[in-house]
Amino acid sequence: MTVRLVEAGEVTLWSEATGDPAAPPLLLISGGNLTAKAWPQEFVDRLAAGGHRVIRYDHRDTGRSTRRDFFQHPYGFDELVADALAILDGWQVPAAHVVGMSLGHTIGQLLALDAPERLLSLTVMLGGALDVDFDADIERAVKGEPPTGALPLPTARFLEMLELMREPAEGAEALLERRVAKWRLLNGEGVPFDADEFRRRELLAVAHAGTFEEPVVHHLIPQPPVARAAALGRVRTPVLAIQAMCDPAAPPPHARHLAGLIPGARVAEIPGMGHALPLAVHEPLAAAICAHARAAGT
């Protein structure tokens, strides 16, 4: 593994590459308020063994990247997209296979619209199309109102997770156990949850970031205008939309809805998977990503 600090405008982004430097590059974009370590090392190693040089990075305001007061230095998705491009530039990568989850799901779509020449392929998971207003959907779910369209709202487990994260926790042990409890709720109902696995993973994330406190800054970022979804019909990047079948945030058929907006996009379903990356889903998930990248070529 090789670590590199990348300048992105006024911030510095921490990044790391794993695998053969001569292999096709694959950029991982993590979820909101999460660091590069949200991609488990075991999963990164599978992708590298599948024939890729895997690059992951800490979003601004997370991990070892620059952290600043959001209200003094506000930003939105334009800056997050620029950060991803800065990482590619920092590693001298003209174009890469890009994989985004949750917040990275949205960043990936915007990259396909705004910088298609930098993408060899795109895989997205654990999120929704640009025409889905998740903030409004969460509000409707909290109020017990029905969805406004055909797509389901976030589930009760997701709302329980949001409530859990509002509860006070004092001290390292309490903060750690709250983080583990969060992943228990997000893990889904179809895959066994191993608390020790996530406890170990969270301790690695804490050691990386230097704190048990989890950032919340990305919740302050306004979503891209839903009108941008109309441009998805012009995307020519090979796209794979992965549907975690037990995702409490973006349940089925969110992936099929996105695929319906992008010409030629395909869907891969991962049974039992929730809004998390437990060891149990690594093999089928990595296989789907690597197969998509191979089909797209270099």
Q: Are 57 and 36 in contact (CB under 8 A)?
A: yes
CA distance 51 to 22: 10
172-186 vs 156-166: helix crossing angle, rounded to 10? 170
Query: 3-state DSSP call for residue 96?
Result: strand
Query: 3-state DSSP call for residue 250?
Result: coil
178 CB-contact burial (10 Å; exposed 0-12 / middle 13-18 / buried 19+):
middle
Radius of gyration of the chain, Cα coordinates, nearest whole angstrom: 18
Catalytic, out of 102, 121, 131, 254: 102
Is 121 one of the catalytic residues? no
Is 89 one of the catalytic residues? no
Compute the Cα dihedral for 26, 31, 35, 39 and give only its sign: negative
Catalytic, out of 131, 247, 254, 257: 247
Please enumerate, as own/partner, the contacts of 174-183 that have beta carbons within 8 Å and a separation of 24 or more: 175/212, 175/213, 175/214, 176/202, 176/203, 176/206, 176/212, 179/212, 179/214, 183/276
Catalytic, out of 59, 257, 275, 292: 275
Is 102 one of the catalytic residues? yes
Q: Are 36 and 15 in contact (CB under 8 A)?
A: yes
Q: What residues are paired with 56 via a beta bridge?
A: 16, 28
* Residue 49 in tokens: 């063994």
Active site members = 102, 247, 275
